[in-house]
Structure 1
């Protein structure tokens, strides 16, 4: 059982910013004293005059349960006998000014269901995990040379029951996991799961960083969900928000009557764009709190990785602030030096314990070396969302095909920097909400052309170097943008066009899993080569992807206009025979059915700076993928004794 008082070594490390599992020391933990079971409470509140524990067990009267200050820097602790799992509690804090505050536990493992705001006693021990095969497989595979195709999900609106009730974690462990497996995704990315008071914050404005939201069940229900994902071969990534927190009274804001988790200077604390508060990374205890939280989700819930939200807001002091509110660091610059140091420390710590973790930066800046190890001068993430690619591609796809030739650079520019970081190509929730329209409805043209445009976008995305992410609903062409209080428009699958799109995405995902050329060298220039980036007039791009086997190549041709080319010549890497491996214009996908059937044989016609070429049928608004099935070995030129070349 747990000791009744936090140990001096843990206290020292916590106040130094180096206690990376501080959730074991702080919070509410089952303990035993002189044969009597109860709970040991511990909380950091250095500015408080007094701290008491209130809850069901004392009728919310803290007069008999004052906590003891056990460290000079403000950790308070108390053992309360007889308290049982499931009971509600808060901290009653008497501030230095004599004000009475009632605060939820920052380290609570379970929270009262909204609109309630209390914490709940909860032990996370005792769940029997059955994901050993998954964990073993993770350690034996390189995350960089493996397929990574992410389905981004908001659990509250993926699917709801007829009466509007949420599906529970255990119900989602069947419904959602089976669906993701069938659709060919490798990972689920969940919008933030930390407890949050307001549904429409989607979890990005949390009050309980250690509490998996009670909207969908208990902590052990969520363990079951993750376990079921792993049994199905699906990884779990969670959106994680270390940049800011909500101002609700029961949360972290002025926790002990003064700024504690936030900076004391409002110019540094306020996030005016979001109406939230920034963490103060200059406080070692805040660093311990946040790094421990990242470790907590991996330790206790077997989360496979974190997508770190809004990294740009961490890197720069003045992110989202009007010019009149700008501040400078000690060097006179805009960089948030303490936050940068925190990110590096975070990634070093996570990878020291979980070398196969996914640490993904959602970063919209041009900050260099985001996915370079800390020891080599980088921030230490192993993936970064490619926001530049996303913005360029959506801008291009929203352009009428007639005008696309003038924007051809938007298609090709991303290849100039595709290997500067380890990228994920995201089509995320942020792009289909707040009036931005759904992916399908962004596409120009009539009904048929909208679907064809979306198919070619997805095909181009799958061929482009980088791992993949798609937000829920995009896979069947949701016509309305994401309605964040309602579930997806699953009834659309009753219509042919949406059903065909759904089948297309499933088949495209399955193709991705089968073809190692699409992912094995995602982050190396050797895995990509242009065949023709210059057909601006016809808005066509042609390129190759290859795996570690130089003969394992795919030729990808994308036509971004509704013009059909019955004879389109492309240069190819090898002479021989090719087959059409995939065509987004196939009839079963809602296309016009203009396919390249049978064996395609190369001609000895130089094209695109290559010795051999193919004539193909290039459908309108389509992505077509070819693969060599028989390579013809040509005799290389040899030198005779007389020094002449024989062909």
Structure 2
């Protein structure tokens, strides 16, 4: 039989007196001993509730057995003797509106597998072995960062159709990404959520990995194992909105608590979700605590903050909105929250990377606080839209949009960018990435390979969604695993070979990554040949002055002896050719790679190259010299 003992109020006082105490260390459910008795200490924030009790497996879900005490600052608490690790529980809240609802714990560490929604008392230790990784991890902007975006539940399924366990995923995904040369994996919504087709972006458990794939310790094993392979782990994190499910955060104490009260500010009509109230300290504490939980306790290396634009603008996807105190459209409370988030995270989880999915031209996203928002990187949404628009055109018409591929260089150093081709581009009727390219199957693959090589040689960190590394032919479907049988087909295996080599060169060659965030990391040789749709540029390491020449022919026309200016004489060698046979191409050969001493494109010498249809060629001089920036 379990009993309720008086609760020590002192631990809750820490929430308002100590900046460095995470809220989940005090709120939620904690196995402990008080007054010589073993049990679980429960605490929850519900300032407007009329009554709260804790119900669970130990008391037959009887709301009268374990009422919680109303404490200071709107908190409720109870110490329950007899409750223990592994038992299910909820808070039975009689709200300000008179309704009684069983609520999952906002700070729950583990949850039942959907469709069940109870929280689970969880108190298990995990022994880490990644000390050296944790000491050495860093988000240095001169490092190579190549990210594999992955929806863990649908990357691969078991034969019975169920999900892999996190431990199985650790070995299978880890081996795969190590072979392909990626530096990081980014997991779509791995935090607990009730609805599979939301892909994890409608979160109900901000402190818990989804139980679909195992326990919290299983997820820690996943992170630990990937660290042992030299792979960083980034998680998608959703502080912009939360679902309206009655069992979770929505109207938690019978009133708008975590959400803004005014629906013009607190409700997303597009997504049928609520917007967090960033002006309430307890909500800010809840969100920042969640971020720190993943970065500190789970050793995660970074967070990609979802839908930042929806947080920044009061008029985001709405016509009925309330201006801020200055009459503007910016949500000043959200701006302050994001700054505080990045300040706290960089102080308390040094070496971690915070990335913004921000789709507008909001200034200073990656500028350090207080002058900017303080993110480390921002997704290059403009680059993505321009590139996908261009490659989707019939090559006959590409000359009219030639500068879609050059415009990024006008602004690419205004922020620290990640070049992201994400899951959003291969769902909802948008087709698989390779299918966006015009022409027959060969032309599609050739154009796709040329695009990937341009992406990997354009300044900015890289991100590609799973399945696109082998030119998955169908749209992504979260309900099934990837079509791995395609790797038995040479045409798909060839694209995989290319991605592997692109990652290898990107990591090995400093000229491909050291200048990712610098103006002098890339110099145009030819940006204006609209008739031929040919692009030529130099990638350069400003520290060592090693460099490589990139030439892309974005039409299905073979161009023989095409003249390209180069900054020095002597011999050149091909280091990558997307038309190579191992990638599924024809293997076009060069007749000469000796530079001619005659100026072209503002350079002192030139090469005459054979450019295969829909191909990208990367060359280097046999001896590197300083590339002049003069034209």
TM-score norm. by structure 2 comes to 0.96
| Cα distance per residue 1:452-507 (max 9 Å; x no partner) | 01101100001110000000000011111111211111111122211111111112
- Aligned counterpart, 2:598: 605
Partners of 1:549 and 1:208 in 2: CA distance: 45
- Aligned counterpart, 2:3: none
| Cα distance per residue 1:305-333 (max 9 Å; x no partner) | 00000000010012111x2x222112111
- Using the TM superposition, give the Cα deviation of residue 152 of structure 1 relative to its aligned residue in structure 2, in angstroms: 0.2
- Using the TM superposition, give the Cα deviation of residue 527 of structure 1 relative to its aligned residue in structure 2, in angstroms: 1.1
2:296 to 291, 295, 299: 299
The answer to whether 1:367 aligns with 2:362 is yes
- Aligned counterpart, 1:425: 419
Partners of 1:342 and 1:447 in 2: CA distance: 48
**Deviation above 3 Å: which 4+ runs of structure 1?**
3-6, 548-551, 631-634
Partners of 1:218 and 1:29 in 2: CA distance: 17
- SS at 2:405 equivalent: helix
- Aligned counterpart, 2:15: 11
- Aligned counterpart, 1:398: 392
- Aligned counterpart, 1:52: 53
Question: Does the 8 Å contact 1:242/1:309 carry over to 2?
Answer: yes
Structure 1 gaps of 5+ residues are: 635-647
- Greater CA drift, 574-583 or 448-457: 574-583
TM-score norm. by structure 1 comes to 0.94
Partners of 2:170 and 2:539 in 1: CA distance: 35
Question: Does the 8 Å contact 2:154/2:479 carry over to 1?
Answer: yes
- SS at 1:262 equivalent: coil
- Aligned counterpart, 2:329: 334
- Aligned counterpart, 1:352: 347
Partners of 1:96 and 1:154 in 2: CA distance: 39
- Using the TM superposition, give the Cα deviation of residue 8 of structure 1 relative to its aligned residue in structure 2, in angstroms: 5.2
- Aligned counterpart, 1:497: 491
- Aligned counterpart, 1:40: 41
2:247 to 236, 247, 250: 250
The answer to whether 1:74 aligns with 2:71 is no
- Using the TM superposition, give the Cα deviation of residue 19 of structure 1 relative to its aligned residue in structure 2, in angstroms: 6.1
| Cα distance per residue 1:207-228 (max 9 Å; x no partner) | 1111110000000000000000
Partners of 1:490 and 1:298 in 2: CA distance: 32
- Using the TM superposition, give the Cα deviation of residue 573 of structure 1 relative to its aligned residue in structure 2, in angstroms: 2.0
Partners of 1:632 and 1:289 in 2: CA distance: 54
- SS at 2:561 equivalent: strand
| Cα distance per residue 1:12-54 (max 9 Å; x no partner) | 248xxx5661110110011102322111000000001111000
1:475 to 461, 469, 480: 469
CA separation of 1:455 and 1:617: change in aligned 2, threshold 3 A: same
Partners of 1:421 and 1:617 in 2: CA distance: 36
- Using the TM superposition, give the Cα deviation of residue 97 of structure 1 relative to its aligned residue in structure 2, in angstroms: 3.9
Question: Does the 8 Å contact 2:68/2:77 carry over to 1?
Answer: yes
- Aligned counterpart, 2:25: 24
CA separation of 1:97 and 1:464: change in aligned 2, threshold 3 A: closer
- Aligned counterpart, 2:107: 107
- SS at 2:80 equivalent: strand
Partners of 2:69 and 2:96 in 1: CA distance: 16
- Using the TM superposition, give the Cα deviation of residue 98 of structure 1 relative to its aligned residue in structure 2, in angstroms: 3.1
- Using the TM superposition, give the Cα deviation of residue 268 of structure 1 relative to its aligned residue in structure 2, in angstroms: 1.2
Partners of 2:355 and 2:76 in 1: CA distance: 35
Partners of 2:95 and 2:493 in 1: CA distance: 60
Partners of 1:631 and 1:489 in 2: CA distance: 43
- SS at 1:506 equivalent: helix
Question: Does the 8 Å contact 1:207/1:251 carry over to 2?
Answer: yes
Q: What are the residue-to-residue correspondences of 1:229-248 with 2, within 5 Å? A: 229-248=226-245
- Using the TM superposition, give the Cα deviation of residue 4 of structure 1 relative to its aligned residue in structure 2, in angstroms: 4.4
CA separation of 1:515 and 1:70: change in aligned 2, threshold 3 A: same
- Aligned counterpart, 2:91: 91
- Using the TM superposition, give the Cα deviation of residue 162 of structure 1 relative to its aligned residue in structure 2, in angstroms: 1.7
1:587 to 581, 587, 605: 581
- Aligned counterpart, 1:136: 135
1:154 to 151, 156, 164: 151
Partners of 2:35 and 2:228 in 1: CA distance: 42
Partners of 2:358 and 2:462 in 1: CA distance: 16
Q: How many residues align?
A: 621
Partners of 2:590 and 2:350 in 1: CA distance: 45
Question: Does the 8 Å contact 2:153/2:163 carry over to 1?
Answer: yes
Partners of 1:19 and 1:207 in 2: CA distance: 25
CA separation of 1:112 and 1:5: change in aligned 2, threshold 3 A: farther
| Cα distance per residue 1:615-634 (max 9 Å; x no partner) | 22211101110011125899
The answer to whether 1:413 aligns with 2:414 is no
- SS at 1:238 equivalent: strand
Structure 2 gaps of 5+ residues are: 1-6
- SS at 2:407 equivalent: helix
Partners of 1:397 and 1:633 in 2: CA distance: 33
| Cα distance per residue 1:147-168 (max 9 Å; x no partner) | 0000000011111112211111
Question: Does the 8 Å contact 1:580/1:596 carry over to 2?
Answer: no
